[in-house]
Amino acid sequence: MRTIWEHALESVRAGQRAVLVMVVDHQGSVPGTTGAAMVVSARGSVGTVGGGTAEHHAIELARRFDSAPELVDIEHTPDDSGSLCSGRHTMALVRLAGSDEATLAAICDALQSGRVGTLRLSRLGLSFEPGATAPLPLTTDPAGFRFAATVGKLDTLTIVGGGHCALALSRVMATLPFRIVVLDDRPDLPTLAANAFADEIRTVDYADLAAHVPAGDRSWVVVMTFGHVHDEAALRALVGRRVRYLGLLGSAAKVAAMFAGMRADGVPEEYLASIFAPIGLPIGSHTPEEIAISIAAEIIRERNSAS
């Protein structure tokens, strides 16, 4: 989303024609669900509302669009091209102008700072409230429509350990709506210096880990430190810290031995049972990149099942 808004702001500042296209409602089996968006300008289009013929149609509409914001319904039916989609997209088209520069700049500033806000669309155009998270399903009446969506990364992925697997996982997860924080107790680690994908990198003592991990259903934690001792220290530090997902990298034998020791020391069985270990979907992964994909897939599965 950040690229979309930067593209919109640059286009408006250059005095170029630009149109925001956002999916504000969807029904059935269609690509591009509610909240998907793109900006179509004289410089091209950035973002996606699902691809395929529907997106092509939306781009053509945006190139000709030059009126007050309005809704467009795009129906999907199986056709001779091989598409099996069946359902409906409702898209809002909003022509962006110089008067929207301050709003677009505020969105870009919030995203660049790792903050969130609420984007609101109506017949009057778009507005943005930094810091607010008040999504609103599409509503319509004779006077027009209203829709609001959260812009920014609500979920935080904390990667404990900054080695090669953490670098690969950061690269993969940077393509998803997660704020990425990498924690390690080694300040001079080369893979930390090479990690341009994380939003934040901190040097911490694993014994104090709980103070650096946000609590709640928007918090996702992956433990992949250097060695069993550090992994166990991290897990012990997080006992009692409620998070949405806690995963541990390692073999089944390592996990069994570690958990046996922690169980003998009185670590609650419910806590140990809540840990995804060994972490990741079982796809036979070996390289850091393969491991990262297996972990990302597991996190996506859990996030989507929760929603």
Provide the greatest CA pair distance for the chain.
Answer: 69
DSSP 145: E
Confidence (pLDDT) at 112: 86
Per cent of the chain over pLDDT 90 is 78
SS3 of residue 183 by DSSP: strand
135 and 181 fall within a common domain: no
302 and 247 fall within a common domain: yes
- Choose one of 151, 173, 200: the last residue of a domain: 151
Low-confidence winner among 47-61, 97-111, 125-139, 238-252 (lowest mean pLDDT): 47-61
Spatial contact of 153 and 129, defined as CB atoms under 8 Å apart: no
Write down the mean pLDDT value for the chain.
92
pLDDT tens digits, 134-162: 889 999 999 899 999 999 888 999 999 99
88 and 174 fall within a common domain: no
190 and 120 fall within a common domain: no
- The total number of structural domains in the chain stands at 2
pLDDT at residue 229 tops 50: yes
pLDDT tens digits, 65-124: 999 999 998 876 665 444 556 778 899 999 999 999 999 999 999 988 888 999 999 999
123 and 230 fall within a common domain: no
- Choose one of 151, 173, 195: the last residue of a domain: 151
Mean pLDDT, range 199-226, rounded to an integer: 95
175 and 213 fall within a common domain: yes
3-class SS string, the chain:
CHHHHHHHHHHHHCCCCEEEEEEEEEEEECCCCCCCEEEEECCEEEEECCCHHHHHHHHHHHHHCCCCCEEEEEEECCCCCCCCCEEEEEEEEEEECHHHHHHHHHHHHHHHCCCCEEEEEECCEEEEEECCCCCEEEEEECCEEEEEEEECCCEEEEEECCCHHHHHHHHHHCCCCEEEEEEECCCCCHHHHCCCCCCEEEECCHHHHHHHCCCEEEEEEEECCCCHHHHHHHHHHCCCCCEEEEEECCCHHHHHHHHHHHHHCCCCHHHHHHCECCCCCCCCCCCHHHHHHHHHHHHHHHHHHHC
10 and 86 fall within a common domain: yes
> What type of residue sits at position 100?
D
38 and 78 fall within a common domain: yes
SS3 of residue 80 by DSSP: coil
Confidence (pLDDT) at 128: 96
68 and 173 fall within a common domain: no
Confidence (pLDDT) at 80: 44
Mean pLDDT, range 273-292, rounded to an integer: 96
Confidence (pLDDT) at 40: 96
- Kindly state the tokens that stand for 189: 């680690």
Mean pLDDT, range 190-196, rounded to an integer: 96
- Give the structural domain span for 302: 155-306
132 and 232 fall within a common domain: no
139 and 175 fall within a common domain: no
Low-confidence winner among 29-38, 140-149, 178-187 (lowest mean pLDDT): 29-38
Rg (CA), the chain: 22
Task: Read off the pLDDT band of 307 (50, 70, 90).
Answer: low
pLDDT at residue 29 tops 80: no
Task: Read off the pLDDT band of 54 (50, 70, 90).
Answer: confident
Mean pLDDT, range 283-306, rounded to an integer: 94
Is the bond leading into 278 cis (omega within 30 degrees of zero)? yes
- Choose one of 136, 151, 166: the last residue of a domain: 151
pLDDT tens digits, 212-225: 999 999 999 999 99
pLDDT at residue 47 tops 80: yes
291 and 185 fall within a common domain: yes
User: 234: domain CATH number?
Assistant: 3.40.50.720
> What type of residue sits at position 34?
T
pLDDT at residue 292 tops 80: yes
